[in-house]
């Protein structure tokens, strides 16, 4: 898996604070963006994060490039509706030279299960190649391709949705592959807006686990905002 932060709103914390402060300021956003003191920026952000008035967080966004993940992961990812995605197409990319797949550790841990996995992948690729050779369009032959197929995707989310995404997918109960991706995304985002992302991640970082009887029983260390 490779996760890269391609782009983010410049000075995202100042941009967010400016949008929030504009509601109560007699001057325009451009002037606020340039002249608001750093301590005032942090004060405004503190109010936002503690009050839960998160609409202003939507004024900053992040774009990530992710390679080397499975279609099983991206099927989960696109359930996050307030986001933009562009993914490598199986309609237009023909896998005539073979197909990279993502293999779970639970499969690799046992030689017998790994053999079952490898045989099933090989069979699906052989059938896929046969269909292509018979003139079946790639967009139809791809119906045979497995969830394990490696893919590439570009993801854009605003900060509000990112925090929601991290809350769900950094949790220990999230599926292992998407959790690993979310952890990487958070690690890249945090240095760009350290106050906003200070307590981003699984809900147990901020308080009680919301999973009830389904809790993992292994909470992350608590983070208290200053």
Give the residue numbers annotated as catalytic, written as ranges: 169
Reduce the DSSP state of residue 74 to 3 states and report it: helix
Query: What's the 3-state SS for 130-189?
Result: HHHHCCCCHHHHHHHCCCCEEEEEEEEEEHHHHHHHHHHHCCCCCCHHHHHHHHHHHHHH
CA–CA gap between residue 127 and residue 133 (Å, rounded): 10
Reduce the DSSP state of residue 66 to 3 states and report it: strand
Classify residue 10 by its DSSP letter. Answer: S
Give the H or E element holding residue 2: strand 2-8
**1 closest CA partner among 167, 156, 152, 170:** 152
Q: The dihedral of CA 123, 1, 157, 49: what is its sign? A: positive
Q: Which residue has the tokens 């919301």?
A: 210
Beginning with the edge strand found earlier in the chain, give each strand of the sheet holding 2-8 in spatial order. Answer: 2-8, 61-70, 150-158, 84-87
Q: Which residue has the tokens 């059938």?
A: 127
């Amino acid at each position: 898996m490779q996760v890269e932060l391609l782009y983010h709103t410049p000075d995202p914390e100042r941009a967010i604070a400016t949008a929030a402060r504009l509601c109560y300021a007699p001057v325009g956003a451009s002037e606020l963006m340039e002249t608001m003191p750093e301590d005032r920026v942090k004060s405004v952000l503190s109010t936002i994060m503690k009050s839960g008035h998160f609409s202003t967080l939507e004024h900053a966004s992040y774009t990530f490039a992710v390679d080397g993940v499975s279609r099983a992961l991206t099927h989960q990812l696109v359930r996050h509706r307030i986001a933009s995605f562009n993914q490598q197409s199986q309609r237009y990319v023909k896998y005539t030279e073979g197909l990279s797949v993502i293999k779970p550790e639970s499969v690799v841990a046992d030689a017998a299960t790994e053999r079952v996995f490898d045989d099933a992948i090989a069979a699906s690729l052989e059938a896929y190649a046969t269909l292509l050779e018979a003139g079946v369009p790639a967009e139809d032959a791809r119906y045979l391709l497995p969830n394990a197929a490696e893919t590439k995707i570009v993801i854009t989310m605003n900060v509000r949705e990112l925090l929601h995404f991290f809350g769900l997918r950094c949790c220990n109960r999230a599926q292992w592959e998407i959790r690993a991706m979310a952890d990487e995304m958070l690690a890249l985002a945090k240095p760009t807006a350290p106050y906003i992302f200070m307590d981003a991640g699984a809900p147990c970082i901020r308080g009680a686990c919301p999973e009830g009887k389904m809790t993992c029983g292994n909470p992350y260390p608590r983070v208290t905002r200053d």
